[in-house]
Amino acid sequence: MPPDVPVEREITRLLHRWKEGDREALASIASLAYDELHAIAIGYLRREVPGHTLQATGLVNELYLRLAQVRGIQLTDRRHFYTFAAQLMRMILIDHARQTRALKRPGSAERVPLHEEMAWIDASSDEMLALDVALDQLEVLEERKVRVLELRFFLGCTNEETAQLLDVSRATIDRDLEFAKTWLYRRLSQPPNSGS
C-alpha cells in the first residue's frame, strides 16, 4: 500500500535532519514508518527457521524501496543509506526481542536468529537486549566501531563492503572488528551489574 503523502513528507524532512547528524530523527522516522517496517521485519523473522540465517537483504530491499518511494530523497548517498538501514535493522531486532521477552513463558529459550557470523553471541532475547546495551556503551567510547558492527552483522555486509562503505581500508575494518567483538564478548560475559 502506498504510504500517505504527509507521512512521506515528514520522513523526508527527518531523513534530512538525520543526515545532518540529528540522531533523534532516526527514532522519529522509525516510529513514523513503524507499522510497515515492523510488519516487514517480523515477517522475515517469523519465516526464518531456527538455525537459519536471517536474510537481511530482503528486509533491506524493502526498506530501500520504501524510502525510494519517498519523493525528494536522494538515495545516491550510499553510505548514509546503508548505515541508516543497519541502525534501523538493529532497532527492529531489539524491539522484537523486547516483545518476545514480554510474551514468552519463563524458561523457554526462543532464539532470535541473527546473521550467522553473529552466532558467537548466540542471541536469546535477553542476550539481544544485553547486546543492545553493550553496543550503546561501546558507542560512547568509539562510535565508528558500532557503525562497523551494525553494517557487518545487522546488515550482513562483508568486511570488504563495509570498508568500501565507510571509505576506510579493509585492514582497518578487520582490526576494528577484532577489537569490537572482543570488547563486546568480554562485556557480555560479565555479570550484568558489574562495570567495565
Partner 1 sequence: MGRIDQIEELFHQARAVAQEERAAWLESRCNGDAELCQEVASLLEANSEMRSSAPIPAAPDLSVPTAKFGAYRAVELLGRGGTSTVYRAERADGQFSQNVALKIMAAHLGGPEFLRRFEIERQLMATLNHNNITRLLDGGVSSNGDPYLLTEFVEGEPLDRYADSHKLDLDARLRLFSQVLEAVDYAHRNLIVHRDLKPANILVNTEGNVKLLDFGTASLLARPTDITLTRVRMMTPRYASPEQLKGERLNISTDIFSLGVVLYELLCGGWPFGDPNSVLSELNRITGKVAPTSLTSCATAEAAGSRSVSLQNLRGLLRGDLSTIVLKMLENEPARRYGSARQVAEDIERFREGRPILARPRTPWYATRKFVTRNWLPVSAASAAVLALAALTVFSVNKAAQAREEAARAQRVSDFVKNTFLSASSTWTSPLRGQSRAIEFKDVLDNAAERVGKELSNDPVAQADLLGTIGGTYSVLGNPGKGELLLRQALDVLSRSGRGASRKAADLNVFLCNAYSYQGRYDEALKACAHGVELARVYGSELSVGAVLNNTGFMAAKSGAPLAEAEKYFREAEANGPTEPRLAKLWPAINNTRIGGLRVRQGDLAEGERLLRDSERLLRSEPGPPIEILPTLDALAVAARIRGNYPEARRWLEEALELLRQRPTSYMGSGDQLEIELAANETLAGQPQGLSRFQKVSAAVEADSGAPVESVRFHLLAGIVESGNGLRPSAERHLRAALATSQKELARQPADRVEIYLRLAQTLAASGRNSEAADVAQQGLHCAESSYAQFFQGHPMVTELRKLGGSSTALVNQ
Taking alpha carbons only, the member of 35, 175, 59 closest to residue 115 is 59
> Is there binding between residue 2 and partner 1 (CB under 8 A)?
no
| 28 vs 53 by CB, closer to partner 1 | 53
Our CA angle for 55, 110, 150, nearest 5°, is 40
Q: Which of 21, 51, 191, 192 binds partner 1 (CB under 8 A)?
A: 51
> Is there binding between residue 61 and partner 1 (CB under 8 A)?
yes
> Is there binding between residue 34 and partner 1 (CB under 8 A)?
no
Q: What b-and-e string marks burial along 162-182, b requiring 16 or more CB atoms within 10 Å of the CB?
A: bbbbbeeeeeebeebbeebbe
Mark residues 155-194: x for contact with partner 1 by CB under 8 A, - for none.
Answer: xxxx--x--xx---------x--xx-xxx-xx--x-----
Give me the least distance between CB of 92 and partner 1, in Å please: 14
Residues 79/165, Cβ–Cβ less than 8 Å: yes
> Is there binding between residue 99 and partner 1 (CB under 8 A)?
no
CA distance 160 to 164: 6
Q: How far is CA 150 from CA 11, 18, 114, 144, in A?
A: 22, 17, 12, 10
Our CA angle for 155, 9, 143, nearest 5°, is 35
Give me the least distance between CB of 24 and partner 1, in Å please: 25
> Is there binding between residue 103 and partner 1 (CB under 8 A)?
no
Give me the least distance between CB of 65 and partner 1, in Å please: 6
Q: Which of 17, 19, 27, 36 binds partner 1 (CB under 8 A)?
A: 36
